[in-house]
Amino acid sequence: MQKTSARLLALLSLLQARRDWPGALLADRLEVSPRTVRRDVDRLRELGYPILATKGPDGGYRLDAGSQLPPLLFDDEQAVALGVALQIAAISGVGIEEAAARALNTVRQVMPARLRHRIDALQVTAAEPPASRPEPQVDSGVLVALGTAVHAREELRFDYAGGEPRRVHPHHLLTWGGRWYLVAWDLDREDWRTFRADRIIPRTPTGPRFAPRELPAADPAAFVTARFRGSVGSGDWPCRGEVILHLSAAEVSPYIRDGVVEALGPDRCRLVLGSWSWPSLAAAVGRFDADFEVVGPAELRDAFAHLARRYADAATGAPATPPAIP
């Protein structure tokens, strides 16, 4: 059995993880009796944590919001996770690098020595791929304003990229590819839109509350991904094809993000990929520098023929062959 102090910390961590905990389940997770759980709950209450008892067949406990902030306690895993999260906050694109560093230093000072050593040993360096120009930073105040409107379900008015004012029903705020986006229903265009947060200048006050619409996707992340793929209806790439590569699946899999790789033998695999266009899909297959067979569709075969003519012209120095007109 854990020592009382460690058990209290574990109990508090469980209560913070979900809203309601049946007493029997807490006892099982902590490997103690229900009576010990009741005594530990009383000890936490004495420390200032507002823990409510819930009634019913599965009566248990709930950590409620209090008027005063009791001491913040973290178990070892939470403390390490917090340290890592603050270290990588510099690449969030919100311009909070200095604040994150100060927060990490504050948290580190109140950690016990064993956790300080773990945090100090886990130094994270965030490396971003080189870009032709720096990624735009988003003002944290703008993110707060957008997030507040999403949470309150209030109509939002803003100036966008120096253009005309926009009126939207904000649905979700998310980050994609290192940038922040607002997913919203555009009232004037009567359609769903995605807006880059770094180009938004919110106007105040916000408008009236609204009933949220159903997003035409499984979730906001799927919606934004589909938008950037150019296929909002299905969420899939506009072009998807299949080939047999003369390479093992183990050699191909590390370089495939959202495709499908199926082993067909020690030196053959089936590869299904998607892309913006058929030529770009054909080029993606060609980068593996291996023989292959096209399974389909016919558009992918035509794309390989088109690229073959283009590469042949480039190799001989001949004038570029114009694409065939169907």
Percent of the chain with pLDDT over 90: 28
Predicted pLDDT of residue 119: 75
> What is the length of the chain?
326
- Give the neighbor-by-neighbor strand order of the sheet with 156-160: 191-196, 179-186, 165-176, 156-160, 200-202
Residues 264-294: tens digit of each pLDDT: 989 999 999 888 889 999 999 999 989 999 9
Comparing 243 with 223, the larger pLDDT belongs to 243
**pLDDT of 325:** 46
Q: What is the per-residue pLDDT for 1?
A: 47
Residue among 201, 91, 227, 228 at smallest CA distance from 146: 201
pLDDT at 67: 43
Tens of pLDDT along 58-75? 678 888 765 444 556 667
DSSP letters of 291-319?
A: -EEEEE-HHHHHHHHHHHHHHHHHHHTPP
Per the listing, tokens 């292959």 go with 292
Average pLDDT rounded to a whole number, residues 158-164: 86
φ, ψ of residue 41 to 5 degrees: the values are: -60, -40
Rounded to the nearest 5°, which phi and psi values hold at 277? Answer: -145, 165
State the pTM of this model.
Answer: 0.55
